[in-house]
Structures are given as structure tokens and as C-alpha cells.
Structure 1
Amino acid sequence: MSDENMLFATEEEQAAELDKKELTEVATKKYLTFQTDNLMFGIEAESVIEIITNYPITKIPMVPDYVRGIINLRGQTIPLIDMRLRLSLMPVDTDCIIVLNVNEMQIGILVDTVNQIIDIPVETILTMPAHNAQKYVSGMCAMPDGSGTMLVLDCPLLLQS
């Protein structure tokens, strides 16, 4: 219905038109996208606390190799997971840290680059097939701009041994 016709429509017709518009709106979620070894990952934006660079990392002994160390962020001690090492890839020197809230615990993940925050339609996210499940990935989807595929990172799995 055009805006001109909406002026002369009854209240019932206007309400029905608004209901149609609400039904055609697609449910979306915001994801922060980042790269690690030419793989594009997405994290639900609501889990992201902040992104920092050039932050001193304190190494700690007797931890798994993928735990790069800890950072002191405004008095809070935050463990730092190197995404490359967690994915069994060769480590590189990078300083891009995404600080996340995972199960009421703050952790940092070290990534190659942070890209952007995008809206992804929820129905386009496909679950990983059980027989072909990738570690730490709960789903995947094609990027809305056609630039490739985004893997949805399952952050709680990062903390499991």
C-alpha cells in the first residue's frame, strides 16, 4: 500500500499493513568478523567487550601452549588465547586482541585482523554437519556481500581442553 493510500485507509487496514511489514522483516544478529590464517570467523557482537592492540602480554608457566599468557586490563587479569595455536596453525607475531565475555568470564583472543561488525540473517546460518564438525565452530554462512564464508566461532568451546 502506498503512503498516499495509507492516509485514507481505515485503522484496520493500516494495522494489517504494519503487520505485513513486521512479518517481512528478517531476524538478524550482529557479528564481529575477524581473520585468522585466511579463515573468516564471526563472534556474536554482544559477547565482545572491546578490541585492543599493542598490549603487553605476560607469559605464564604450566599452561597449554595455546594460552599465550595474561594481560592486565584496567586491573582485571585476562587470559589470552592465541587463535592460531588453538587451531593448530603456525603462530605469527600479531597484536590484535578481542576481549570477550564467555560464560561470565573475560578472555582475550589473539587474532590476525579484525574486519567489521555485520548483520547476518539468522536463517542463513547453517549448523555444521555432525560428521564434519570443525573444532570450535558452531555454524557457517555466506557473507551478505558475497565476499566469502564466515565460520561462527563457538567461544565456550575455546575454553575446553
Structure 2
Amino acid sequence: MNSMNDGTSARAQMEEELEQFLVFQCDALQVGVRVDCVVETLINQSITSLPMLPNYVCGIINLRGEVVPVVSVRLRLGKPSAEEKSIIVLNISGTQLGILVDRVDQMVKLPRSSILPMPSTNRQKLMCGMSSLPSGGTMLELDSAALLEN
């Protein structure tokens, strides 16, 4: 009976060490956002434009009666504009924000130890980490809180 409990606790400890990410495509980059921030994903949602906002703020959406601002990750990263079709709605410290991305790719669980900090020479302020993906390639971790900053 003890060996069964030991196996269960070892399995639980192993799962605790994993971080889950929703990976999306932005230009040629694979970017991940922690799943605990994700509210939902939307496809081909109508966005209402607003005047006098930075170019990366696409506008707002009505999400079940709540007004949610939408930011283009592509434009926020300084990439050329393109037809972005998916919106990932995030809850960042109680504030809902939609991020417009090229497409949502996959959910992945990565060992916490595999997520490395961004190199200090990197001037990309929206990314806070990076990791190799099991399917190949590298995922950059989106710093969701930085999206709310100017």
C-alpha cells in the first residue's frame, strides 16, 4: 500500500513541475502564453476600431456584454501587419485583454526547468522566457503583464 502512495506522490510532484502553455503563431515565431491566463480563444471575431490609439491596438470586442480591448501581438512586436484571425482572451491580474495572433497551434506541457530566461542582450520586452518544444522549434514565452504597459 505504501508503494502505491509513493507512486502517486511522485506522479503528483512530477506534474507540479510542469508548466502548461497555449502556443500560437506570430509571423515566423512560436509564442506561448501560460494557460492559467487564458480565458478562451475566438476565431474571426468582429473587432470594432477606435480612433486615436497606437497602431497595435486593433480596437475592442464585445464578449458577452463585456468590452475587451484587442492588441495585435504581431504589430506590438514590430512585425509587418498581416491577416490575423485568432483572438486569445487573457485575464491579466483581473484585466481582460484580447491578443490578435496569426493562429493558435497547440497546448504543451513543459518542465519548469526547461524554460530559460531571455538573454539579457535581447531588447524584446514582451518575452520573458524561451524553451524547446517537444515537436521541434523554440517557443518564446509571452510576458502577459508587459502587454498592459505602454
Is the TM value for this pair above 0.5?
A: yes
For residues 146 and 117 of structure 2, the distance between their equivalents in structure 1, rounded to whole angstroms, comes to 15
For residues 94 and 20 of structure 1, the distance between their equivalents in structure 2, rounded to whole angstroms, comes to 43
Cα gap change, 1:106 to 1:18, in 2 (>3 Å): same
Root mean square deviation of aligned Cα: 2.1
Structure 2 residue corresponding to 1:135, chosen from 112, 118, 125:
125
TM-score by length of 2: 0.90
Give the 4+ runs in structure 1 shifted more than 4 A.
none
Which residue is equivalent to 2:90?
100
Which runs of 5 or more structure 1 residues have no equivalent in the other structure?
1-5
Which residue is equivalent to 2:104?
114
For residues 134 and 108 of structure 2, the distance between their equivalents in structure 1, rounded to whole angstroms, comes to 9
Q: Kindly tell me the number of residue pairs found equivalent between the two proteins.
A: 149
Which residue is equivalent to 1:49?
39
1:149 and 2:99 aligned: no
* Superimposed CA distance per residue, residues 89-146 of structure 1 (whole angstroms, 9 cap, x where no aligned partner): 111122210000012100000000101111010000001122324220000000123x
Which runs of 5 or more structure 2 residues have no equivalent in the other structure?
none
Structure 2 residue corresponding to 1:158, chosen from 124, 147, 150:
147
Quote the sequence identity (%): 41
For residues 71 and 17 of structure 1, the distance between their equivalents in structure 2, rounded to whole angstroms, comes to 49
* Superimposed CA distance per residue, residues 51-106 of structure 1 (whole angstroms, 9 cap, x where no aligned partner): 00121111101111100100111100000001111011111122210000012100
